[in-house]
Amino acid sequence: MSVRILLPFFLFFSFLANAGPLQTAEQVDRWRQSHEQQIVDGFAELLAIPNVASDHANIHRNAEHIAAMFRDAGMDTELLQVEGGNPVVFAERRTPGASRTVMIYVHYDGQPVNPGNWAGDPWHAVLRTDMVENGGEEVPMKAPFDPSWRIFGRSAGDDKAPLIALHSALEAMQATGIEPTVNLKLFIEGEEEAGSPSLTRVLATYKDKLAADLWLFCDGPAHQSRRWQLVYGVRGADGFSLTVYGPNRPLHSGHYGNWAPNPIMLLTELITSMRAADGEILVDGFNDEVRPLTRAEEAAIAASPPMEAYLTNEYGIGAPEPSDRVERAITRPAINLRGIRGGDVGARARNVISPSATASIGLRLVPDQTPAHLHAAIERHIEAQGFHVIHAAPTAAERRRYPRLARLDWSTAGYPAYRAAMDNPLAQKISAILNTLSDNTLIQTPTMGGSLPLYLVENAVRSPILILPIANHDDNQHGANENLRLQNLWDAIEIYAAVLSGL
């Protein structure tokens, strides 16, 4: 019999042998109701420590504070450090008799802030009745709390929320006598928003310590439907800057217009040659390596709730690019125009033909695409449009020689996608627990649209990786007025406790 057919029996007996996720959740929920003030105060304290990855003094304050939190919750902690990198807070708690180890990944650094765009100080947490955009008003940070209220501060959602939720779950389990059924490890990174520059070295240096049967990433926003979501993969990311050239100085558009080549025209033609308006990629060979979706993955997409009407209304979109489910669209590779710039617009526009125009182009990779193959395909495509491709500023001689000259600067941080198999037994067990805790069916997402360097972890530790996001989808992550909805925090505490005691 296959694992798939055996699994329901296994889960049934597994539930009998433990307290059961529902019972655990109820106990933890009661504890939480009487400790909300303490949880919120602890969160505000954590959010008060600035956490931009380049702010090394405060990054260390965060790391020490978080390590102390998890020591208090009964874990052994350690700062994993490699030269030049921000410390990873590593925490561990062995469970006597447990045969499996779960590693939970969180990051404590946050995106830089532009305080002028915030309604308040990004590093001083406040409570509001709703999103700022919806007219949410500040309320005292005193219980009782309405669960639709939100805590505002940088990293409230991305990604300090899982820290406070995990810490609370562990405290609740201690207080109520619920024992984990697995060995627990935490890997709490301090430079995720800076592109995880030391992650590879940390994974290599501390490889033995980081072994686990599953890495569970707790990062990113949950589904817009507010149903719980388990994500099996991420897209890879890559990108390049593309500059094309006109005259070597701005030329008067009257004296030379429709004679001197206009780089904005050359760039718009090149862009439209690479990508159709519906998102279809027109670059030969770009899709060569794409791993097709399995039937289970197709079925999971079909079963996910249709969000298109909500999204088009919420984001003011007349019609999406492809007439397809968003969940399916993001299982395809993407060429995304991040930016374009040439000459000037608005009041600064001048009647000139500009010396150059530049586009910033992002790529999203799906399994099993490789950056090397895509770089080659794109460069071949640009050459096929008549461009001479260079990788540095052109010399005067090159400008004179080549009618079409394109400078490509590839990101040095491109990386492949990752997707775990949906029939992984631990994944199926977590799914079952999450389905037990909610009246709504868990959403299983083969690939989320965003990118994380999960391939680094997979390469280093060879464990399956899943993503369990807990923050509200409208948490304004990376932007101003980032927030966490209290109900998401309360739910996350229950989920962590149920998973840790139910696996």
Amino acid making up residue 172: A
Are the beta carbons of 151 and 40 closer than 8 angstroms? yes
Total chain residues near a copy of itself (CB under 8 A): 89
DSSP classification of residue 117: G
CB of 238 to a copy of itself, least distance (A): 11
State the pairing for strand pair 233-245/405-410.
Answer: antiparallel
Interactions with a copy of itself, residue window 312-331 (CB under 8 A): 312-313, 315-322, 324, 326, 329-330
Smaller CB separation from a copy of itself, 178 or 405? 405
Which neighbouring-strand residues pair with 275? 281
Task: Select from 16-24, 113-121, 123-131, 311-319 the region that touches a copy of itself (CB under 8 A).
Answer: 311-319
Which neighbouring-strand residues pair with 466? 216
Smaller CB separation from a copy of itself, 285 or 479? 479
Q: Which of 32, 128, 150, 364 binds a copy of itself (CB under 8 A)?
A: 364
Using CA atoms, how far apart are residues 278 and 23, in angstroms rounded to an integer? 48
Interactions with a copy of itself, residue window 250-279 (CB under 8 A): 250-262, 264-269, 271-272, 275, 277, 279
Smaller CB separation from a copy of itself, 21 or 221? 221
Residue 287 sits in the site that holds a copy of itself (CB under 8 A): no
User: Can you read off the two tokens belonging to residue 304?
Assistant: 């996910």
Using CA atoms, how far apart are residues 354 and 357, in angstroms rounded to an integer? 7
Smaller CB separation from a copy of itself, 335 or 497? 335
Q: Which of 110, 153, 157, 342 binds a copy of itself (CB under 8 A)?
A: 342
Residue 345 sits in the site that holds a copy of itself (CB under 8 A): yes
Smaller CB separation from a copy of itself, 382 or 426? 382
CB of 239 to a copy of itself, least distance (A): 8
Residue 389 sits in the site that holds a copy of itself (CB under 8 A): no
Using CA atoms, how far apart are residues 26 and 448, in angstroms rounded to an integer? 30
Task: Select from 88-96, 208-216, 339-347, 434-442 the region that touches a copy of itself (CB under 8 A).
Answer: 339-347
CB of 411 to a copy of itself, least distance (A): 10
Residue 449 sits in the site that holds a copy of itself (CB under 8 A): yes
Using CA atoms, how far apart are residues 363 and 241, in angstroms rounded to an integer? 11
Residue 359 sits in the site that holds a copy of itself (CB under 8 A): yes
Rg (CA), the chain: 25
3-state secondary structure of 417: coil
- Nearest alpha carbon to residue 87 among 187, 214, 211: 187
Q: Which of 403, 413, 421, 423 binds a copy of itself (CB under 8 A)?
A: 403
DSSP for 164-231, written as a single string = HHHHHHHHHHHHHTPPPSSEEEEEEES-GGGT-TTHHHHHHHTTTTT--SEEEE--SB--TT---EEE
